[in-house]
Structures are given as C-alpha cells and as structure tokens.
C-alpha cells in the first residue's frame, strides 16, 4: 500500500498503521485541520470561522454526532482517520490518542479547516523557496496584536505563520495564494514584525525559527493555529482537534481549492 | 442630498424619503440581500450559507437583537435603513412595511448576503451587455433541478438568474465574476436550460423574460432568491427579508468584494 492518496492515508490511520506527521504524504491531496465541538458551542465557532475566514477557511461542517465529512471525504470517519488527535477539557490538553471512537459523543460537530500545505505545494511548484521545508523544521508561527473578530464565546489574537521571501518571490507568492482563499489566501503582512505585535522574529510562539537571508523580508500568512488558540481561550468543556502536523487527509485535490 | 453613497441611501430610507428599488443608486457601493431570523434558526441558516456559498455569499452576521451590521456598515440600522421589507410568518408573506422598528425582536440574527448587482457593474464596465438592464426589466430567475446542500431545517433547489451572452462575452464574464465570490462568483451553467431542469426559458419563475439573440447562449448564475425560497420552504415562525429589488446598501465598495 502506498500512501499516495487521501484515502490511502486515512485507511492506514484507521488500521492503526500510521501515527506520524502528514507533510509530504499524498502529494496534491488537501490536508486539513480538524476541530470537534459539542453542538451547543457549534454556532459560536461556525460564526467565528465565518468572521475570520483567513485563519479559519472552512471546508466542511458535519452533522452533530455524524463522523462523516460528506463534502470533502464522503467515505471517511473522523473518529479513526487521523494519525493522532488532541483531547481538550476546559481548555486543557488531557490526551493525545491515535483514535477517538471511545471518546466520541453524539453531539459533536466537526469543522474541517483548510491549511497552508496546499499553498506551500503551489509555491514549490513555482520554484519559490519555502524556508522551513528547506531547513527540515516546523514553520514558525507567532501570536500577533491583530484581534480576530469575536463570535460568541470565541475570541483571540490572529496567529500567523512566517516564510521569508525576496520581494520578487513575495509578489509571486501573493498572486498564487490569492487564488486559494480556502488555504488561507494571500498573506496578511510583510516586513516589520513589530507592526503586528511580534517582539522577536527569532522566537516564534509555535514551530521553529528559520533563517531570513539578505534581501529577504518576513512574509506573514493567517495560520490555522488561530482557531486552536481561540479554543484554548474559550475553554469549552470538551473539544477534540488534530495533533499539530497530523492532519486530516481529504479527497479534495489542491486545485479544488481555487474558489470560483 | 444626492443618493451617491451607501450611507446617503440608508439615511434617505431611515427618514422615510426612499421606498423605491435600489438598482442604479450609489454606483460602486455594494448592495445586499437581508435575511433576519430568530436565534434558534440562525445556526441552521448560517450552515446553509456556508454549504451553499454561491447562492448565499455571506457578507456579515449580526449579534442577536443587534440591528447594526458592524462589518459592512457600522453606522447602519437594519430596522430602518432598507427602502422596503417583507415580513414572513410560517413561510407566508404577511406584510411589506418600509421599516420594522415595531416588529423588531431581541432574538433576531441578521444575515447580509451579497448580490448580483456588483458583478453586473463590472460586466457593464467591461462593455459586456446585460440584457435585462438594456430592456429595462427584472432579471429572469428560475428554480432548477440542482438541490442545495441541506442544513438543518433549510433545503431547496438552487434558484438561478440568467443573462444571455455571446461565447466571447461569456468567457470574459466568467473570468470577471470568478474574482467576486462574494457576489455569487462565476456562473454555474450555460447552454441547455433543460440540463438544469428549466422547462421553458421564456417563462422564468421570478423576474421577467429577456430576449436571447442569435449567437448568444443563456448563462446562469446562482441567485440570491435561493435563500428566500429555502426560507419559504422551511417556514420558520417568523422571518424578515428585504423586498426584492429593495436592497440594503452597505459601505463596502464593489472592489472590496474581491476576496483574497
């Protein structure tokens, strides 16, 4: 079995054979963030995503208690098909299981959210360097001073990811990413980190530092850690997310995310 | 006072001086559909919009009981700032008032939805003929056999608007509209009406028939009547919408709808 499609990756996870990070698997298939919340928190979170589409580009929402994301992977089961999960109670991380069948509740609503891997593929195809991939580390991510638009019980700062680029590459990356609003879309800032409240570019809040070379400027995108940070701040009694880097593989192809 | 901005139009409505259709007013300012629903129907409708973004391109959602759509018109009041409204009880139209202050409820959630006027402006700017505007009639609209993705209590067929175009103009219109997902985006069909369940192109379900000239084909866009049709089918106990053609004027400019 080769892990060359979204379906193959999910099947491997379901069989307990894959509990590893997913970057590089099933190239061309859309990988996604997952948030599961009880139904009585779902309206607030759906509204949070609608009001903050760049950090929270929503791909699909499941019916309460139904683990099948019909729009993006009609044969998937969210209880088994990710490599690893995080279980949260009152905003605290309490477990990191590899499947959640015994923790499933019939009031859980699933939110499948686009992630940056889709646009990173496109940058690489365009011969634009993606520094953290070159250096074999996690992308650097930072809390900013940019507040998300609050919705119900959810609020918090926008978290951004950073990729250093030359101006020429930054301009090309902007036009490429602008076609992918469901994978965060165009960057939201470039240049001075302090302008968005980042005190030290060398000390990311999440992920790893990367080298910024002469002639490059840091370019910042809205990041899918934002909804997780909002979740931790809102402290719902129960929530499940993907484990960072251990994404949900959909049946969508990267090209499906070009919204028209 | 000239009705040259979104704000000026709203002020005129608020003062009881404007109860007319809004096409042609405040050129360049985004006009929008309005749906107001009780809070306990709001999750279903928000999900319906998220699942059907082409007919229901959501621009803003208000807090329950708060008539101010802060994201698109922070000085507006949805109770007074439209030229005319429709009040629905159990799916039946019961009144067409020019303001709704005395009907307002503190549990109402407002949904401001993009409309086709924005892309029609762009087509005209590109010298692409818009037939119903040429003929001075309402755009023809049709129920189709394309089902919307259901959400909670909301379901129903996609309703489309139709504009006849030459192939050259249809191609240009497609690229123009693809940049405006918040104004319904690119067309969803062209050519044979029967392929989408339209029995007679000369007999629209809403609006007026228009002439299709030699060399032209009908081109179909997802239409903002779709959510109204879903509302009529779901029969919530109470709902308020704009009166067709009597849109809500926002402070957004057409160019703000180019999503990145």
pTM, 2 dp:
0.89
Residue A227 resides in a domain:
no
Each residue of A143-164: pLDDT tens digit? Answer: 999 999 999 999 999 999 999 9
In this structure, how many other beta carbons lie within 10 angstroms of the beta carbon of residue A217?
15
Residue B210 and residue B239 in one domain: no
Flag if A58 and B43 touch (Cβ within 8 Å).
Answer: no
In this complex, is the C-beta atom of B66 within 8 Å of any C-beta atom belonging to chain A? Answer: no
Length of chain A in residues, anyone?
260
Each residue of B192-229: pLDDT tens digit? Answer: 999 999 999 999 999 999 999 999 999 999 999 999 89
Query: What pLDDT sits at residue A1?
Result: 60
Angstrom CA distances, A130 to A120, A163, A166, A210, A253, stand at 7, 7, 11, 10, 20
Residue B60 resides in a domain:
yes
Residue A191 resides in a domain:
yes
Residue pair A119/A180 in contact (Cβ under 8 Å)? The answer is yes
Q: CA-to-CA distance for B210 and B204, rounded, in angstroms?
A: 9
What is the distance in angstroms between the Cα of A192 and the nearest Cα belonging to chain B? 21
In this complex, is the C-beta atom of A43 within 8 Å of any C-beta atom belonging to chain B? Answer: yes
Each residue of B67-102: pLDDT tens digit? Answer: 999 999 999 999 999 999 999 999 999 999 999 999
Residue B140 and residue B45 in one domain: no
Q: CA-to-CA distance for A22 and B232, rounded, in angstroms?
A: 45
Residue A121 and residue A202 in one domain: yes
Residue A47 resides in a domain:
yes
Residue B24 resides in a domain:
no
Q: What mean pLDDT do residues B250-255 have?
A: 94
Residue B151 resides in a domain:
yes
Query: What pLDDT sits at residue B1?
Result: 60
Residue B133 and residue B199 in one domain: yes
Closest CA to A55 of A155, A130, A128, A133: A155
CATH at residue A195: 3.30.2040.10
Residue B112 and residue B241 in one domain: yes
Residue B1 resides in a domain:
no
In this complex, is the C-beta atom of B90 within 8 Å of any C-beta atom belonging to chain A? Answer: no
B189 Cβ contact list (under 8 Å, min separation 6): B160, B195, B196, B219, B220
Q: CA-to-CA distance for A48 and A53, rounded, in angstroms?
A: 8
Q: Which domain holds residue A86?
A: 6-19+30-116+234-257
What is the distance in angstroms between the Cα of A19 and the nearest Cα belonging to chain B? 31
Query: What pLDDT sits at residue A258?
Result: 87
Q: Which residues of B touch A61 (CB under 8 A)?
A: 47, 50-51
**Closest partner residue to A50 among B61, B149, B185, by Cβ?**
B61
Residue B228 resides in a domain:
no
Q: How many structural domains is chain A composed of?
A: 2
CATH at residue A242: 3.40.1640.10
Each residue of A177-233: pLDDT tens digit? Answer: 999 999 999 999 999 999 999 999 999 999 999 999 999 999 999 999 999 999 999
A175 Cβ contact list (under 8 Å, min separation 6): none
Q: Does ipTM exceed 0.85? A: no
Residue B107 and residue B121 in one domain: no
Residue B110 and residue B131 in one domain: no
Residue B248 and residue B201 in one domain: no
Query: What pLDDT sits at residue A100?
Result: 98
């Amino acid at each position: 079995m080769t892990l060359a499609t979204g379906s193959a990756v999910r099947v491997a996870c379901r069989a307990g054979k894959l509990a590893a990070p997913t970057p590089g698997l099933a190239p061309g298939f859309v990988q996604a963030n997952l948030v599961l919340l009880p139904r009585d928190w779902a309206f607030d979170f759906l509204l949070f995503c609608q009001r903050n589409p760049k950090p929270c580009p929503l791909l699909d929402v499941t019916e309460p208690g139904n683990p099948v994301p019909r729009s993006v992977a009609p044969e998937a089961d969210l209880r088994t098909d990710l490599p690893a999960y995080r279980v949260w109670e009152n905003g605290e991380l309490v477990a990191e299981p590899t499947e959640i069948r015994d923790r499933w509740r019939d009031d859980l609503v699933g939110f499948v959210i686009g992630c940056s891997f889709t646009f990173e593929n496109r940058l690489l195809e365009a011969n634009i360097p993606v520094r953290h991939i070159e250096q074999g580390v996690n992308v650097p991510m930072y809390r900013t001073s940019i507040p998300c638009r609050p919705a119900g019980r959810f609020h918090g700062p926008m978290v951004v990811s950073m990729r250093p680029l030359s101006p020429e590459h930054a301009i090309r990356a902007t036009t490429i990413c602008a076609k992918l609003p469901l994978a965060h879309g165009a960057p939201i800032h470039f240049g001075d980190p302090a302008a968005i409240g980042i005190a030290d570019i060398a000390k990311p809040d999440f992920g790893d530092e990367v080298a910024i070379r002469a002639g490059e400027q840091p370019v910042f995108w809205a990041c899918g850690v934002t909804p997780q940070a909002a979740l931790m701040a809102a402290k719902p009694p129960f929530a499940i997310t993907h484990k960072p880097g251990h994404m949900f593989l959909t049946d969508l192809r990267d090209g499906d995310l070009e919204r028209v």
